[in-house]
């Protein structure tokens, strides 16, 4: 879809969202500077996206159903005016990877706060380049930030993003927890993950792409059969869908506040106690991947710098700055 068509699409959706009643084709034609035939074609193009637009002769068009896609005109009404994240929001029905798109656009001057979203991903991935199933109904998005922090604090981006998602979902009554450092669990089963990719200039992070994937409003049988014993969806666990644009707006609002603290030198330490209270890893027997090495032991604590202290044998500990918890005795694996 060309950019001009995208702009018309979003403005047309915004018109239907704000309308108190039917909108005549003549009014839309005048507002957009397009023929009534062109307006009709743009309205018809919304139907494959899940919009149901009712047309009545001599009355006009009325939106009977508006889907909860992560599109700019559906998310922005829920964002506070001072939020620096979410402008622009670039949605497509399908992308290979929102992170890949953000990294490509970064080379073309993508502004701070831009959010790349998709109805589905055909090439989604997690840590260690693993494939990530990303069907329609999930939340697949990447947040682009510039100059967030010194390089030594780059791991904070993942930790803070996990907290922002937890805050947003728990506000909706979803009992989500964090598995150090970047997974989101419900009752021990994975429902989301975070992949932060950065570009550094010397000792400073020039920009970062924070990719977030959430198994939200789709049935669990859309996940690959081989992972259903350890993965889940919000719909499956709670029995109800979440309003995805509203949840995305809340994630962006929370992440914006946390980002500002990080940029000002107050990072993970400021929210350490809250993060620890949400972390399911501490106290569990775990296996941790550190590069090609595998470590087993009890997760004793997460330090204020975000690193994990692992007791590998009685009285012997190892501090893991960057790694991945492959499993814990609390998870259903």
Q: How many residues does the chain have?
A: 333
Residue 11 reports pLDDT greater than 60: yes
| Contact indicator for 147, 204 with CB cutoff of 8 Å | yes
Contacts of 251 (CB under 8 A, 6+ apart): 164, 165, 167, 168, 212
Domain spanning 285-328 has what CATH number?
A: 2.30.30.100
Tell me, rounded to whole angstroms, the distance of Cα 171 from its chain centroid.
Answer: 16
Handedness of CA 215, 221, 222, 223 (dihedral sign): positive
Identify which of 78, 19, 61 has the alpha carbon closest to the alpha carbon of residue 245.
78
Distance CA 222, CA 209 (A): 27
**Phi and psi dihedrals of 93, rounded to 5?**
-60, -35
What the block records as the tokens of 166 is 């937890």
Q: What is the pLDDT of residue 132?
A: 63
Q: What is the pLDDT of residue 299?
A: 93
Among 1.10.10.10, 3.40.1030.10, 2.30.42.10, 1.10.238.10, name the CATH number for the domain at 3-65: 1.10.10.10
**Distances 28 to 15, 42, 45, 130, 197 between C-alpha atoms, Å:** 9, 11, 15, 46, 42
Distance CA 220, CA 234 (A): 9
Quick one: the chain helix, strand, coil %, rounded to 5? 35, 30, 35
| Contact indicator for 168, 241 with CB cutoff of 8 Å | no
Q: What is the pLDDT of residue 1?
A: 42
Name the more confident of 241 and 328.
Answer: 241
pLDDT band at 332 (very low <50, low <70, confident <90, very high): very low
Domain spans in the chain, listed from the N-terminal domain onward: 3-65, 72-278, 285-328
Q: 72-278 architecture in CATH?
A: 2-Layer Sandwich (3.30)
Q: Which regions of the chain does DSSP assign to beta strands (E)?
A: 52-56, 60-65, 89-95, 115-121, 139-146, 176-179, 183-186, 189-201, 204-214, 285-290, 293-302, 308-313, 316-320, 324-328
**pLDDT tens, residue by residue, 275-296:** 999 999 999 998 988 888 888 9
What the block records as the tokens of 100 is 């890949």
Inter-axis angle of helices 3-18 and 25-32, nearest 10: 130
Identify which of 122, 124, 132 has the alpha carbon closest to the alpha carbon of residue 93.
122
> What is the per-residue DSSP string for 225-286?
GGGTTTB--HHHHHSS---HHHHHHHHHHHHHHHHHHHHTT--GGGGHHHHHHHBS-TTSEE
Contacts of 217 (CB under 8 A, 6+ apart): 68, 137, 138, 233, 234, 235, 241, 242, 244
| Contact indicator for 295, 318 with CB cutoff of 8 Å | yes
Q: Is 289 exposed, middle or buried (0-12, 13-18, 19+ CB in 10 A)?
A: middle
Q: What is the pLDDT of residue 333?
A: 36
Identify which of 287, 189, 187, 286 has the alpha carbon closest to the alpha carbon of residue 229.
189
**pLDDT tens, residue by residue, 155-201:** 899 999 999 999 999 999 999 999 998 899 999 999 999 999 999 98
**pLDDT tens, residue by residue, 136-163:** 999 999 999 998 888 888 889 999 999 9
């Amino acid at each position: 879809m060309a950019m001009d068509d995208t702009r018309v699409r979003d403005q047309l959706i915004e018109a239907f969202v704000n309308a108190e009643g039917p909108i005549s084709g003549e009014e839309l034609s005048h507002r957009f500077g397009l023929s009534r035939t062109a307006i009709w074609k743009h309205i018809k193009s919304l139907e494959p996206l899940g919009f149901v637009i009712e047309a009545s002769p001599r009355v006009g068009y009325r939106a009977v159903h508006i889907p909860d896609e992560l599109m700019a005109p559906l998310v922005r009404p829920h964002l506070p005016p001072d939020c620096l994240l979410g402008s622009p929001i670039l949605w497509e029905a399908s992308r290979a990877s929102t992170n890949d798109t953000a990294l490509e656009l970064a080379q073309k001057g993508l502004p701070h706060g831009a959010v790349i979203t998709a109805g589905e991903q055909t090439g989604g991935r997690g840590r260690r380049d693993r494939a990530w199933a990303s069907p329609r109904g999930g939340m697949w998005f990447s947040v682009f930030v510039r100059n967030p922090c010194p390089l030594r604090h780059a791991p904070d981006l993942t930790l803070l993003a996990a907290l922002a998602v937890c805050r947003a979902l728990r506000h909706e009554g979803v009992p989500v927890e964090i598995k150090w450092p970047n997974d989101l669990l419900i009752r021990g089963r994975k429902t989301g993950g975070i992949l932060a990719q950065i570009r550094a200039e010397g000792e400073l992070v020039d920009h970062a792409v924070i990719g977030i994937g959430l198994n939200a409003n789709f049935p669990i049988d859309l996940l690959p059969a081989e992972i259903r014993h350890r993965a889940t969806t919000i719909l499956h666990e709670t029995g109800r869908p979440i309003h995805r644009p509203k949840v995305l707006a809340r994630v962006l609002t929370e992440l914006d506040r946390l980002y500002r603290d990080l940029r000002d030198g107050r990072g993970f330490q400021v929210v350490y106690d809250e993060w620890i209270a949400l972390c399911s890893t501490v106290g569990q027997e775990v296996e941790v991947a550190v590069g090609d090495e595998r470590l087993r032991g009890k997760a004793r604590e997460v330090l204020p710098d975000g690193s994990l202290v692992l007791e590998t044998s009685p009285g012997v500990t190892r501090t893991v700055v960057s790694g991945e918890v492959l499993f814990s005795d609390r998870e259903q694996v």
